[in-house]
A and B are shown apart, each in its own frame.
Chain A
């Protein structure tokens, strides 16, 4: 359990991850508060997925330390994982199971009681419009349907921390909206969410704070107002701030060059 004074859900201190000569994450310091929805933004290959994986111990940092829910992810792995819901980027599920068998498996892994398991699975399947297909093998699902199953399996055990890598990938607008609402609702219950995303409107709409990564470093961190000040673009939206900070503001020339 969390001690009363630690309102920090995840803390990264001087985290470095190298893949041979490539530095994927470079001296990252980050502290995410309990009950916060935190958005991780950045161009492709900027180190978002690697950062999220390190928070769950799926990738080991070369330097630095990571504390999740007051525990060391390496030492207390099982206890941490019990409290976390994780959706990887393009999740590979057990394709030979049906949707319902997969969720049943997840329920058992996290030790949810039979009655709870039944209620929650049925509700989520209905909410995300998977009814009628839950008895089919996952190998026949579309990308969006697989993403829904992965999301449900992250929510199912009521975790205290959600780590979502591009959670709205391949989702239809209605389901994306539902996921957004669910995250909001969970926030009121004190659940912390850390997500990476490409969809800037969503980040702008639901994230309390946003971190912009570039080449493994945190370029900017703060809420929308703070980011605007940082980029010296007082009235702009996230897209302009993002492009300004990641040094890709002058896109016209790039496009001209492409279509020459």
Chain B
């Protein structure tokens, strides 16, 4: 193994994050300190947290001996769970990263013409996946426990834990690498057998994959951090035969004074790590250059279709743009995640309402759950679609610039797409909410209408900001919108939703606290219809304003930006 090759490959990966839209640099200057800022921040926070905990600890040590003992025991049990904790969240993070990058061939393509062995490539890939947030968080954890243990004189134990944490992160990344290669190979085989249905197999397959993944993730983390740590602690020892907890088992054995058992787990962990790595390298050697066969979507003579969009009154250009986006969102894996968000939101709701802590939810909670099932998923869909609609064009945006497409046409077709999909989501989630929570007919109608208002207004707001903050970078992952603009957008959307829903706050209050605000006295001075009308006016004004802003932003985009 040539370490310089590995470092070089990792450097390329790190530097691929440099491309930013609108930054035209003839020379790239980079200060070493700022390039590594996440790690410095992780280190600073880690040392800070360690110092804080250490100072509290050294205060109690002088006063109360039993508190101190509790403190030490607590630390040990947290240390024990750290490897598994790090494993789980790094697995989640690296998998999500892979999904986001799946649309880009270039970033995952193996530079097989370079004099690099598969082992070197695989190691570089596993390590590079940990750069950025995972490494920063590991630095945070390690620096916290090392600083703290200097106070509690657990330095040896803390160092072993630190190494275990590093090993766990490597395990997670290696597993992601293995799953990635297998997935590509598996998908290829599926395409081959499913023929023309491949697009839909892929669409539903991906949705299913995301969902399964999220359900596991939600299930594991649903109880919050403390329960999660307790779960790990209790299941770790019973699931000792699963190699992924061997690192945790090693720590457990050492703290229990079982030195031989601990050493066995240490050796086993190292063997397992090596095994994962060699399996990944072997799979890369076998399938690293494999490319799934082409998906054949149509065969035979070409028959242009007019389609139903034309009948709805859209011009040919508008219909073409909408149809293209429809295909983008059903065929590009990194865009399919938009459909997952509403499903996950529903899942969270259902998990909360069926949670053992609330066997029979109180009326207040009930109203809240019902309302948010109506309002939340479709609104979130509108916001995320609005944010992505322009940025998803990516490097192919030149096609829009070079075509005779006006700002109005662009905004109209993109806006329609947002509303269209959000309304579908609303129809489904609304029906679900009606079945599950069974609200009164009047409440149902109001909820539907209010959700529609939210979709229209927030869709326009998000589209205007999505155009303003569009980022066409595709490597190492499609960015679609700059972070700053998606945050600004979230703030504006929050204010707008409060404004639109405000006329109904008294009603919500009266439903949740019937004693304080009786419904009858309320309706005496605020008719629900009046509230609906006020809400409608606010929504229409907001939609109109931001639709115009979107057109203005699109005009700027089409005339001012360069490609």
Chain A interface (Cβ < 8 Å from any Cβ of B) = 19-22, 53, 56-60, 74, 77-79, 81-82, 84, 86, 88, 91-98, 100-101, 104-111, 114, 117-118, 121-122, 125, 134-137, 139-140
Task: Tell me which residues across on chain A come within 8 A of B323, comparing CB atoms.
Answer: 105
User: B298–A97 contact, CB under 8 A?
Assistant: no
B416 within 8 A of A: no
User: B105–A97 contact, CB under 8 A?
Assistant: no
User: A81–B402 contact, CB under 8 A?
Assistant: yes
User: B405–A78 contact, CB under 8 A?
Assistant: yes
Task: Tell me which residues across on chain B come within 8 A of A58, comparing CB atoms.
Answer: 398, 401-402, 562-563
Given A58-B398, A136-B296, A97-B324 contact (CB < 8 Å): yes
Given A58-B563, A74-B559, A136-B295, A19-B403 contact (CB < 8 Å): no
Q: How far is the CB of A53 from chain B (nearest CB, A)?
A: 8
Task: Tell me which residues across on chain B come within 8 A of A56, comparing CB atoms.
Answer: 401-402
User: A59–B24 contact, CB under 8 A?
Assistant: no
Interface positions, chain B 294-333, Cβ under 8 Å from A, are 294-304, 306, 316-317, 319-321, 323-324, 327-328, 331-332
Q: Complex Cα distance A53/B402, Å?
A: 9
Task: Tell me which residues across on chain A come within 8 A of B563, comparing CB atoms.
Answer: 53, 58-59
Task: Tell me which residues across on chain A come within 8 A of B4, comparing CB atoms.
Answer: none
B395 within 8 A of A: yes
**Number of residues in B with C-beta < 8 Å to the partner?**
44
Could you say which of A20, A86, A93, A108 contacts B402, with CB atoms under 8 Å apart?
A86
B354 within 8 A of A: no
User: A60–B24 contact, CB under 8 A?
Assistant: no
Q: Complex Cα distance A111/B394, Å?
A: 24
Could you say which of A94, A95, A114, A135 contacts B298, with CB atoms under 8 Å apart?
A135
Task: Tell me which residues across on chain A come within 8 A of B404, comparing CB atoms.
Answer: 78-79, 81-82, 109-110
Task: Tell me which residues across on chain B come within 8 A of A93, comparing CB atoms.
Answer: 396, 399
Given A79-B404, A94-B399, A19-B559 contact (CB < 8 Å): no
User: A92–B395 contact, CB under 8 A?
Assistant: yes
Given A58-B402, A78-B404, A78-B405, A117-B297 contact (CB < 8 Å): no
Can you list 26 A-B contacts with CB-CB less than 8 angstroms, sorted by A residue number? A19-B26, A20-B24, A53-B562, A57-B401, A58-B398, A58-B562, A58-B563, A59-B562, A74-B559, A78-B404, A92-B395, A96-B327, A96-B331, A104-B302, A104-B320, A105-B323, A107-B304, A108-B317, A109-B316, A109-B317, A109-B403, A111-B316, A125-B302, A135-B296, A135-B299, A137-B297
Task: Tell me which residues across on chain B come within 8 A of A98, comparing CB atoms.
Answer: 297-298
Q: Complex Cα distance A101/B199, Å?
A: 14
User: B398–A137 contact, CB under 8 A?
Assistant: no
Task: Tell me which residues across on chain B come within 8 A of A118, comparing CB atoms.
Answer: 302-304
Given A21-B26, A105-B324, A111-B317 contact (CB < 8 Å): yes
> CB-nearest residue of chain B relative to A136?
B294
Q: How far is the CB of B530 from chain A (nearest CB, A)?
A: 45
Q: How far is the CB of A100 from chain B (nearest CB, A)?
A: 5
Q: How far is the CB of A152 from chain B (nearest CB, A)?
A: 13
Task: Tell me which residues across on chain A come within 8 A of B316, comparing CB atoms.
Answer: 108-109, 111
Q: Complex Cα distance A85/B331, Å?
A: 28
Q: How far is the CB of B9 from chain A (nearest CB, A)?
A: 25
B76 within 8 A of A: no
User: B302–A121 contact, CB under 8 A?
Assistant: yes
